[in-house]
């Protein structure tokens, strides 16, 4: 059962992780580890490492940008921030997500045997 | 099991990630490994243990997966597949063509220094002509097939194979010397072009940088002889109408090449093929001149047709 659940979750996360990153960056700029920890805490990503290829792709797509800032111990930290294009995509996603969740809720709501 | 043990140290983890990314374009590979290294450093500073950090990262395979998928997709992109197919056909056609041309001139220019004692020397095709011609044709075709084969291979294997094939062709050219060797030059150039087309490490930026370099070199190679002719005409060293025809054609090819006009690139290609065909008629050094200049025109034209970004004529 746990395995099945994990499989379903993985599939859904795949499509939304990118927008979760955008949503998180919309609040404030973050560096890699911060983002990774936040997403892992919320069980939105299984492996922290796979976040970095995603961030690189989002940077290429112009959804996020990076800058270097002084971090702890005199090292530089790569901070990620959301771009205007990223904001637009996030807004689009919000509308789509609201629509989908509403429809899914409606469709599944009546069949929920244990919840109510 | 050895893999798991190796991945338990930070260095081992980064090393196996870097190794997995060996076919990925340089910048992307470096960036990802640096990002992960930074992630590990930050994690350490927060007091997380190495094994904790590595466990949370996921396997190097999982981290590298999106890049490896992209790699296969890009390597199999319609454009690159088409370029490889064209080069494969070019390899076969030029190989066969070179075999025919080289046969037409054996009695005068081939100076074999290897093989059975009877066929060595200058006039090899007097006694052995049929057998030798057949063998030579087979050698040419076998090498052409060897070069062309990478056009139908899977990307990562094709890359290694095509480099090996290009090195073999280069050795063949050097080994055969100026006589026979010059007929293997088209196969060698095609082999290196295929090696380039199979090079997955070259990012699109790297590719356009490379095609700008070729554009500059090709422009110079195609235009400098035209300049010589112009100077010749101006000083009176060159006379006759032939020079004017050459200058007109040379300018069309050279300037068109630099400006990336596709029509001019086609003309360059066709002129090259034509010059190579002309070398069947003549003998001696003039033949070599026709042959080699034909190769220069043909391959610069071909390179432009395959790699130069399409230029919009109407805008």
- Strand-pairing partners, residue A69, are A77
Residue B1: per-residue pLDDT: 37
For testing contact with chain A, the best of B39, B44, B51 (most A CBs within 10 A)? B39
Is residue A86 included in any domain, yes or no?
Answer: yes
User: What is the pTM (predicted TM-score) of this model?
Assistant: 0.67
Domain membership of residue A35 as a residue range? 2-109
**Is A48 in contact with B41 (Cβ distance < 8 A)?**
no
Is residue A114 included in any domain, yes or no?
Answer: no
Is residue A94 included in any domain, yes or no?
Answer: yes
- Whether B300 contacts B257, CB under 8 Å: yes
| CB-CB neighbors (< 8 A) of B25 in chain A | none
Chunked mean pLDDT (size 10), chain B, 315 residues: 54 91 85 92 87 89 87 78 90 86 58 54 50 77 89 84 92 82 88 88 78 92 90 82 86 90 92 87 74 91 86 45
Residue B314: per-residue pLDDT: 43
Residue A103's domain is classified under what CATH number? 1.10.10.10
Instruction: Tell whether ipTM is more than 0.90.
Output: no
Strands A76-82 and A64-70: antiparallel
For testing contact with chain B, the best of A53, A59, A67, A68 (most B CBs within 10 A)? A53
**Is A72 in contact with B45 (Cβ distance < 8 A)?**
yes
* Nearest CA distance, B45 vs chain A (angstrom): 8
Residue B97: per-residue pLDDT: 85
Residue B138: per-residue pLDDT: 85
Q: Where are the domains of chain B?
A: 2-75, 78-201, 203-315
Is residue A116 included in any domain, yes or no?
Answer: no
**Is B63 in contact with A77 (Cβ distance < 8 A)?**
no
CA within 13 Å, CB half, B103: 19
Is residue A56 included in any domain, yes or no?
Answer: yes
| CB-CB neighbors (< 8 A) of A48 in chain B | 39, 56-58
- Whether B186 contacts B94, CB under 8 Å: yes
Minimal-distance CA residue of chain B relative to A48: B57
| CB-CB neighbors (< 8 A) of A38 in chain B | none
Residue B295: per-residue pLDDT: 92
Contacts of A81 (CB under 8 A, 6+ apart): A25, A29, A64, A65, A66, A67
Strand locations in chain A (E): 30-31, 64-70, 76-82
**Is B58 in contact with A47 (Cβ distance < 8 A)?**
yes
Is residue A55 included in any domain, yes or no?
Answer: yes
Count of structural domains within chain A: 1
Interface of A with B (CB under 8 A): 31-33, 36, 40, 46-50, 52-57, 71-73, 75, 77-78
Grade residue A116 by pLDDT with cuts at 50, 70 and 90: very low
Return mean pLDDT, chain B.
82
Residue B135: per-residue pLDDT: 79
* Nearest CA distance, B75 vs chain A (angstrom): 18
Is residue A47 included in any domain, yes or no?
Answer: yes
Is residue A53 included in any domain, yes or no?
Answer: yes
- Whether B25 contacts B207, CB under 8 Å: no
**Is B42 in contact with A77 (Cβ distance < 8 A)?**
yes
Return mean pLDDT, chain A.
87
**Is B66 in contact with A54 (Cβ distance < 8 A)?**
yes
Contacts of B313 (CB under 8 A, 6+ apart): B261
């Amino acid at each position: 059962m746990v395995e099945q659940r994990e499989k379903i979750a993985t599939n859904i996360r795949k499509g939304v992780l990118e927008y979760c990153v955008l949503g998180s960056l919309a609040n404030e700029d973050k560096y890699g580890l911060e983002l990774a920890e936040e997403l892992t805490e919320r069980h939105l990503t299984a492996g922290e490492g796979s976040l970095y290829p995603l961030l690189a792709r989002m940077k290429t797509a112009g959804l996020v940008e990076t800058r270097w800032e002084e971090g702890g111990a005199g090292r530089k930290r790569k901070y990620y921030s959301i771009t205007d294009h990223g904001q637009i995509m996030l807004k689009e996603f919000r509308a789509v997500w609201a629509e989908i969740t509403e429809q899914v809720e409606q469709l599944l709501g009546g069949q929920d045997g244990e919840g109510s | 099991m050895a893999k798991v043990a190796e991945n338990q140290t930070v260095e081992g983890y980064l090393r196996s990630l870097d190794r997995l990314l060996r076919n990925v374009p340089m910048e992307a590979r470096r960036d990802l490994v640096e990002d992960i290294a930074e992630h590990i450093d930050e994690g350490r500073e927060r007091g997380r243990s190495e094994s904790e950090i590595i466990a949370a990262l996921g396997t190097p395979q999982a981290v590298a997966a999106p890049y490896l998928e992209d790699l296969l997709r890009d390597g199999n992109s319609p454009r690159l597949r088409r370029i490889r197919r064209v080069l494969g056909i070019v390899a076969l056609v030029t190989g066969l063509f070179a075999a025919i041309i080289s046969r037409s001139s054996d009695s005068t220019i081939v100076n074999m220094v290897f093989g059975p004692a009877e066929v060595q020397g200058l006039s090899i095709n007097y006694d052995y002509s049929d057998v030798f011609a057949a063998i030579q044709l087979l050698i040419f075709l076998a090498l052409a097939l060897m070069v062309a084969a990478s056009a139908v291979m899977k990307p990562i294997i094709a890359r290694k194979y095509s480099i090996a094939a290009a090195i073999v062709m280069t050795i063949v050219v050097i080994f055969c010397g100026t006589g026979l060797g010059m007929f293997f030059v088209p196969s060698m150039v095609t082999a290196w072009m295929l090696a380039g087309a199979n090079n997955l490490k070259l990012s699109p930026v790297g590719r356009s940088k490379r095609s700008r370099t070729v554009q500059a070199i090709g422009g110079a190679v195609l235009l400098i002889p035209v300049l010589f002719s112009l100077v010749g005409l101006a000083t009176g060293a060159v006379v006759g109408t032939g020079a004017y025809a050459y200058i007109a054609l040379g300018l069309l090819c050279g300037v068109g090449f630099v400006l990336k006009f596709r029509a001019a690139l086609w003309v360059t290609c066709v002129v090259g093929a034509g010059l190579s065909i002309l070398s069947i008629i003549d003998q001696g050094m003039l033949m070599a001149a026709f042959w080699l200049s034909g190769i220069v025109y043909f391959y610069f034209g071909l390179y432009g047709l395959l790699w130069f970004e399409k230029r919009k004529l109407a805008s």
